[in-house]
Structure 1
């Protein structure tokens, strides 16, 4: 991106009460007077359970460490021991099901930072126990799980937040304000791209010894059993495998598609078409292009959103050189390219004297801080599951279309593909006994 115009640096039995009040609540939103009164006061620390203690999970724990960490869970004993040394008063577990069952009445909320295939089993169990929930992106491993978690959180009235941390940044707010102001006219198309690639490889043909610190059976969790293979799954490579992750689209889609979702008030697409290398039964692609079609709404006309990742990521769009990852809004009166920290209006000469509208979206107190505050007083979060659920569904539908091998038509109301019955096998999945969602 050349010469950006603007740059930004970036107690009471709570479960019974929440269940009784569920009919009038919004997940992550306003709970009503009684719920606010029974929540922990601003001066009290939340009692938190943490699923996962290393890597992304460790980053989340750092953001909530000023609260009271009462439970820690990790399948890797080395990771767990390191976290426990920092929070010696926390009770430690290897199995989050046991932690939630044992400690739900001694905790207020849960922070989930495990691999994608564990998000829904942990989150649903916690939400049904009345715990407020912070969960990393993508919210779930399947489309059906995203809908189930969204509905459960709404029904239980808990405060929720998905881990799309950049949503709290000032630059995203300014982009949303400018798009909504009509500066580039009516947006008809959005390009979203990431030059990262999680994919490729073949199923290992041999089994390696399981490291002594790792409980491999618990790591597999709800997935079908398979032998341990060194360097192939734990701790990071799981994103490449359909059984555990959703590739680059699953990893980064919720971050970058978040911006057009917010700015344009997107919900569910009607048609999705994907292009890439022939689908592999085990691993995600090294490059993907997905075209989402959204019907007109009161916030936008008919809209096409195109996603590119890996070796499909463009270096130029519509004659404009673009950075390695970003978003390009195409409007009837101009264009805007945006990254996490900056934006630029195009053509440059037309917008040389552009003055952005006065800020109207309040600055965030911090992505995790929003959620902590919501847990205590019921104020809304900006990435609650009512918002993040549809975003996650849309992201994951791109992989459904890709694995199906053609265009799919999506019936959001009934949670099914209408033009290809075979595609519906990828909307949900089968769980190992004891891990059902």
Structure 2
């Protein structure tokens, strides 16, 4: 059951407001104010509670679930019943939740992509720590704003790239950085899913009584309700999601970013069917160019999804989704759960480097600990922001007819002005970041 508000919470709320004005880190104030915070439970609000969100709610359910929010009353009531011991307050509109729940410590955002930034940013502006599902945002501009704000105000943040906490990714990073396959040349990334296709519906079925459709649309331009948008199918539609690249890019490209210490690409091009104004393609190829880092020379990375996915690479059969690192001494094929050095006969005597990256205490646990103690997370927004921008730039190159040359410092495409229309979007009245 939720504890009554403690005196420290009043202090933290006041300190958070002061920090926003003075530019002082909220978490820095919080950490200095309370030495026993690790032994207390966080008061958390969850925005989005079913489907993908259900795992996130479960992941933080060891804390106090003070408030639950969803635009679907059936989902909301189901979650409230499942976690009845928390006696959570229920909301349909996250704006109302954030206005009323003054004493919450942190927020978990698990909505469709187009409302990630409004919910997360509003929460951070109130001094709340944030866990947000991937991709971090719907637009590049939103990603940069959230990254900068979270870093400036020292808030505990984590992107929902849960596989990052797995042991295998750590062992891949160690092996790549130890030079297992020599100097890096290029990388292939592919995912067999195909979120794309579809036409704008012309019928106007009634909105189900349990669905608050206008709240689901949030900052997106108004359109009539249709079951083709929800649940899950919103990923196909540019107004709400980013197709397969938007869905899975942060999971698989994450490994490449981590291993090679990448940040922003300089050039991006894309190949696919003629772009549709409303929906993502069923298959897409994106080519990225990255500058050198302290562990890798300048490299190229090729993303393929849907019906563009490869069956084999360099004569080696590959699974439906994965990452292939190419070095001057061989290749490394990696999936979520394992990795293989290729050609295998060349690596019979290979020994893994000594473990240097500690195993994770758990993706949610990292964030909870960070909220309480100010410790780092492995997918904080300062890491996940550039990762998200990279993913979104692939869709921008495709939709604008690319290729594009990216000036990360100015947040602008320098060679193709038509692409800049996709960097930021206009919100409906009543919505903002």
Which category of TM-score, normalised to the shorter sequence, fits these structures? Answer: over 0.9
2:176 aligned residue (157, 176, 179)? 179
> Please, which runs of 5 or more residues in structure 1 have no aligned partner?
1-10
1:409 aligned residue (398, 405, 409)? 405
What's the counterpart of residue 4 of structure 1? none
Contact 1:36 1:378 in 2 (8 A): no
Cα distance change of structure 1 residues 379 and 66 upon mapping to structure 2, 3 Å threshold: same
Q: Where in structure 2 are the equivalents of 1:12-27 lying within 5 Å?
A: 12-18=10-16, 20=19
**CA displacement at 1:407 relative to structure 2:** 0.3
The separation in 1 between residues aligned to 2:177 and 2:78, in whole angstroms, is 46
Q: Secondary structure at the match of 1:214?
A: coil
Q: Where in structure 2 are the equivalents of 1:213-224 lying within 5 Å?
A: 213-224=210-221
Q: Deviations over 1:129-166 (max 9, x none)?
A: 00000000000001110001111111221100000000
Does the alignment pair 1:152 with 2:110?
no
What's the counterpart of residue 238 of structure 2? 242
Cα distance change of structure 1 residues 179 and 435 upon mapping to structure 2, 3 Å threshold: same
What's the counterpart of residue 267 of structure 2? 271
The separation in 1 between residues aligned to 2:206 and 2:95, in whole angstroms, is 26
Q: Secondary structure at the match of 1:42?
A: helix
**CA displacement at 1:39 relative to structure 2:** 7.4
The separation in 2 between residues aligned to 1:40 and 1:124, in whole angstroms, is 28
**CA displacement at 1:92 relative to structure 2:** 0.6
Cα distance change of structure 1 residues 15 and 180 upon mapping to structure 2, 3 Å threshold: farther
The separation in 1 between residues aligned to 2:313 and 2:241, in whole angstroms, is 29
Does the alignment pair 1:388 with 2:387?
no
The separation in 2 between residues aligned to 1:36 and 1:172, in whole angstroms, is 34
Does the alignment pair 1:371 with 2:370?
no
Q: Where in structure 2 are the equivalents of 1:302-313 lying within 5 Å?
A: 302-313=298-309
What's the counterpart of residue 342 of structure 1? 338
Cα distance change of structure 1 residues 301 and 90 upon mapping to structure 2, 3 Å threshold: same
> Please, which runs of 5 or more residues in structure 2 have no aligned partner?
1-7
Cα distance change of structure 1 residues 267 and 14 upon mapping to structure 2, 3 Å threshold: same
**CA displacement at 1:16 relative to structure 2:** 4.5
Which structure exhibits the higher relative contact order, with contacts defined as CA atoms closer than 8 Å and separated by 6 or more residues? 1
User: So what's the TM-score if we normalise by structure 1?
Assistant: 0.94
The separation in 2 between residues aligned to 1:180 and 1:32, in whole angstroms, is 33
Cα distance change of structure 1 residues 271 and 15 upon mapping to structure 2, 3 Å threshold: farther
What's the counterpart of residue 122 of structure 1? 119
The separation in 2 between residues aligned to 1:210 and 1:129, in whole angstroms, is 33
Instruction: Name the count of aligned residue pairs.
Output: 421
Structure 1 vs Structure 2 CA RMSD: 1.5
**CA displacement at 1:306 relative to structure 2:** 0.5
What's the counterpart of residue 133 of structure 2? 136
**CA displacement at 1:183 relative to structure 2:** 1.2
Contact 2:402 2:416 in 1 (8 A): no
2:284 aligned residue (285, 288, 297)? 288
Q: Deviations over 1:315-342 (max 9, x none)?
A: 1112211111000000111110000000
**CA displacement at 1:354 relative to structure 2:** 1.0
Q: Deviations over 1:52-88 (max 9, x none)?
A: 1101111101111110000110000000011111334
Contact 2:115 2:218 in 1 (8 A): yes
The separation in 2 between residues aligned to 1:345 and 1:252, in whole angstroms, is 24
What's the counterpart of residue 3 of structure 1? none
The separation in 1 between residues aligned to 2:109 and 2:380, in whole angstroms, is 14
User: So what's the TM-score if we normalise by structure 2?
Assistant: 0.95
**CA displacement at 1:37 relative to structure 2:** 4.0
Contact 1:70 1:107 in 2 (8 A): yes
Q: Deviations over 1:95-116 (max 9, x none)?
A: 001101111x210000011100
**CA displacement at 1:188 relative to structure 2:** 1.5
**Worse-matched range after superposition: 33-42 or 259-268:** 33-42
Q: Deviations over 1:392-411 (max 9, x none)?
A: 00000000000011200000
Q: Secondary structure at the match of 1:361?
A: coil
2:96 aligned residue (84, 95, 98)? 98
